[in-house]
Amino acid sequence: MLAYDVVVVGAGGAGMMAALSASEDESLKVACISKIFPTRSHTGAAQGGINAAMGYRDSTDSPEKHFKDTVKGSDFLADQDAVEFFTTKMPEVISELDYYGVPFSRDGNGNIAQRPFGGASSPRTCYSADKTGHVILHSIYEQCLKKEVDFFDEWFLLSLVVEDSSFTGLVVMNIKTGEIVPIKAKSVVIATGGFGRIYWNRTTNALNMTGDGTAACFNIGIPLKDPEFVQFHPTGLASTGVLLSEACRGEGGYLLNKDGERFMARYAPEKMELGPRDLVSRSIETEIKEGRGFGEGMDSYVLMDLRHLGKKKIMERLPQVRELAMEFEGVDMLEEPVPIRPSCHYMMGGIHVINPETLSTQIEGIHAAGECACVSLHGANRLGGNSVADVVLFGKYAGIGARETAHRRSYGSETKLNQEAQVWNKKFETIRNKKTGKNIVDIRNKMAQTMWDNVGIFRKEEEMATALKEINQLIKDYKDTYIGDPAVRYNMAFVNYVEIGNLLDLAKGVVMAALNRKESRGSHSRGDYQTRDDANFLAHTLVHKRENDDYELEYIQVKITKYQPEERKY
């Protein structure tokens, strides 16, 4: 049986940082597993930048200010011990990335350049033009090649195995061959990214952001923390959900409904299109719900019109945005308005991590970092530029944590690991050969539709109750699905089938947690409970999966060290 001291699952920013820091200890055998080739990971999509109080651009900036901004941004739901640890360590990590060869843009003094970002009281976002995540991802990969990390590219985590309450390893599929194998491990770092795909095409996330690691943890009893907090970006391209930069609104673009009306006048008469993200997103969705959008159902949209800015301004200020709209929506903004609709962008919630310095979970041996995890750094709302920072920093410390855990533990029993691999082998065979049943693509689309319509940008009791019923039905339907590909080798239909199962499990957690949070906080905004309710809900949601797949909610205290909750005003 394959055996590694530390197995990292995921090769995005978080996973590869973990693999790197774990392999600093040369006495350990470290493997890094990823369902896609490492540099395809979604960390590469981050454009804007990475936050750290370097103080290069503004010498009055400090980790303390970064701490305060993050807590306020989180609508006071972030754990302040975690935030302080994060903001204090971030500058060191940036220097480390520089030393790894990340090509950062520079200022006139030869220091790393920094730009202002939403919700930050100083310009502290370090960047590399508009490809920050991309260059960080590639540089960390290069360092991993140098360190000779053992990569298992296109290997897919199926489940984690716990025997007698003790973590023993994982079961994975080698997608290229279709083989399903157990791997023994002393510790594991889960770094599998977010699960924005519960909204399928209405997300800026890559096609494979399906929360596999989060679901695997959930299934063995590690709770899901704060899943109801989902960040939406107002301007996703209509047909694909790909992100259209905020700069369009910034430069003075108009949002129009199907009557050609600048509808923001109804919602933010003064600021108009420049209102905050969540408000603009809600306004667009209201227009669509009330029949003033274009198209139907999931294909509805409104328009972003920039033509009045004139060719000169568009070509000067937004050349890349124009190109993006042409390439991915087929629309030239010089000639026509661009169809847009809000798009799910980021999951604040995830695997319940109990120690921000080791990223450990309640099961000894299992660590988690990056978007799949909830430390909680972002609380109810993440600040731009804080996620790539989160993944590299907590990825690094998860690697160190897992390294130490591996030294403390020895390999466990193989019994359950072998059994679990058998179970998956059987399942693979059955599903491959099944000829009839419910169509998996239908199930996926129905999930996305109900999540979008009922648990999207703004939420109400009855709608969410409807969604819960539908998701429950889809979970039943899923048991009788078929995939239509009998092949063993590179069977993506099977991989997608497992992913959709994971999405359904997580979607249900999102709905239940959202239903039960009877307040509006950060990204969670309810029509029927419009204000924040600290007396009852200044707490993290934990969703547990119990016997018979029943879900149970619990609330735990937020760690508040320095900043008492106050009204969040900008």
Ligand X SMILES: Cc1cc2nc3c(=O)[nH]c(=O)nc-3n(C[C@H](O)[C@H](O)[C@H](O)COP(=O)(O)OP(=O)(O)OC[C@H]3O[C@@H](n4cnc5c(N)ncnc54)[C@H](O)[C@@H]3O)c2cc1C
Residues binding another protein (CB under 8 A) = 36-37, 39-42, 44-45, 92, 94-101, 103-112, 128-129, 131, 134-135, 138-139, 142-143, 145-146, 153, 176, 206-208, 240, 242-243, 324, 327-331, 441, 483-485, 487, 489-493
Residue 129, phi-psi category: left (phi > 0), alpha (psi -120 to 50), beta (remainder): left
What φ, ψ does residue 164 adopt, rounded to 5°?
50, 55
Residue 55, phi-psi category: left (phi > 0), alpha (psi -120 to 50), beta (remainder): left
110 binds, among another protein, ligand X, none (CB under 5 to 8 A by kind): another protein
Residues 245 and 252: beta-carbon distance below 8 Å: no
128 binds, among another protein, ligand X, none (CB under 5 to 8 A by kind): another protein
* Per CB under 6 A, 156 contacts ligand X: yes
First to last CA, the chain: 56
Residue of 57, 197, 202, 277 with catalytic role:
277
CA atoms within 13 A on the CB side of 163: 16
156 binds, among ligand X, another protein, none (CB under 5 to 8 A by kind): ligand X
How long, in residues, is the chain?
570
Q: Which of residues 162-201 bind ligand X (CB under 6 A)?
A: 191-194
**Residues 6+ positions from 206 with CB-CB distance below 8 Å:** 42, 45
Closer Cβ to ligand X, 193 or 275, answer by number: 193
Smallest separation, CB 196 to ligand X (Å) = 7
* Per CB under 6 A, 349 contacts ligand X: no
Instruction: Please report the sign of the dihedral spanned by the C-alpha atoms of residue 224, residue 225, residue 229, residue 231.
Output: negative
* Per CB under 6 A, 41 contacts ligand X: yes
Closer Cβ to another protein, 103 or 276, answer by number: 103
* Per CB under 6 A, 73 contacts ligand X: no
Rule CB under 6 A: choose which of 371, 463, 477, 519 binds ligand X: 371
Closer Cβ to ligand X, 256 or 359, answer by number: 359
Closer Cβ to another protein, 131 or 460, answer by number: 131
Which of helix, strand or coil describes residue 249? helix
Smallest separation, CB 200 to ligand X (Å) = 14
From residue 68, how far is each of 245, 377, 543 by CA, in Å? Answer: 26, 12, 28
371 binds, among another protein, ligand X, none (CB under 5 to 8 A by kind): ligand X
Token pair 């509805």 in the structure block, residue:
300
Could you check whether the bond before residue 520 is cis, i.e. omega within 30 degrees of 0? Answer: no
From residue 525, how far is each of 57, 111, 229, 454 by CA, in Å? Answer: 35, 40, 9, 12
Q: Which H or E element spans position 190?
A: strand 179-190
d(CA 509, CA 152): 30
Q: Which H or E element spans position 212?
A: helix 212-219
Number of neighbouring beta carbons within 10 Å of residue 435: 7
Smallest separation, CB 462 to ligand X (Å) = 31
Residues 356 and 350: beta-carbon distance below 8 Å: no
* Per CB under 6 A, 102 contacts ligand X: no
Closer Cβ to another protein, 56 or 394, answer by number: 56
* Per CB under 6 A, 387 contacts ligand X: yes
Q: Output the DSSP codes for 281-327.
A: HHHHHHHHHTT-SBS-GGG-BEEEE-GGGHHHHHHHH-HHHHHHHHH
92 binds, among ligand X, another protein, none (CB under 5 to 8 A by kind): another protein
- Is 277 tagged catalytic? yes
Rule CB under 6 A: choose which of 42, 66, 367, 517 binds ligand X: 42
370 binds, among ligand X, another protein, none (CB under 5 to 8 A by kind): ligand X
Q: Which of residues 231-250 bind ligand X (CB under 6 A)?
A: 243
* Per CB under 6 A, 385 contacts ligand X: yes
* Per CB under 6 A, 342 contacts ligand X: no
Q: 69: buried, middle or exposed (CB in 10 Å: 19+, 13-18, 0-12)?
A: buried
Smallest separation, CB 267 to ligand X (Å) = 25
Rule CB under 6 A: choose which of 6, 11, 31, 513 binds ligand X: 11
Segment lying near ligand X (by CB under 6 A), choices 59-67, 85-93, 387-395, 534-542: 387-395
Rule CB under 6 A: choose which of 70, 80, 205, 541 binds ligand X: 205
Smallest separation, CB 310 to ligand X (Å) = 28
Residues 41 and 58: beta-carbon distance below 8 Å: no
108 binds, among ligand X, another protein, none (CB under 5 to 8 A by kind): another protein
**Sheet harboring 254-256: ordered strands across?**
230-237, 338-347, 302-305, 254-256
* Per CB under 6 A, 346 contacts ligand X: yes
Rule CB under 6 A: choose which of 78, 175, 304, 388 binds ligand X: 388
Judged by the rule CB under 6 A, the positions of this chain that interact with ligand X are: 9-15, 33-36, 41-43, 45-50, 133, 156-157, 191-194, 204-205, 212-213, 243, 345-346, 370-372, 384-389, 391
Known catalytic residues? Answer: 277
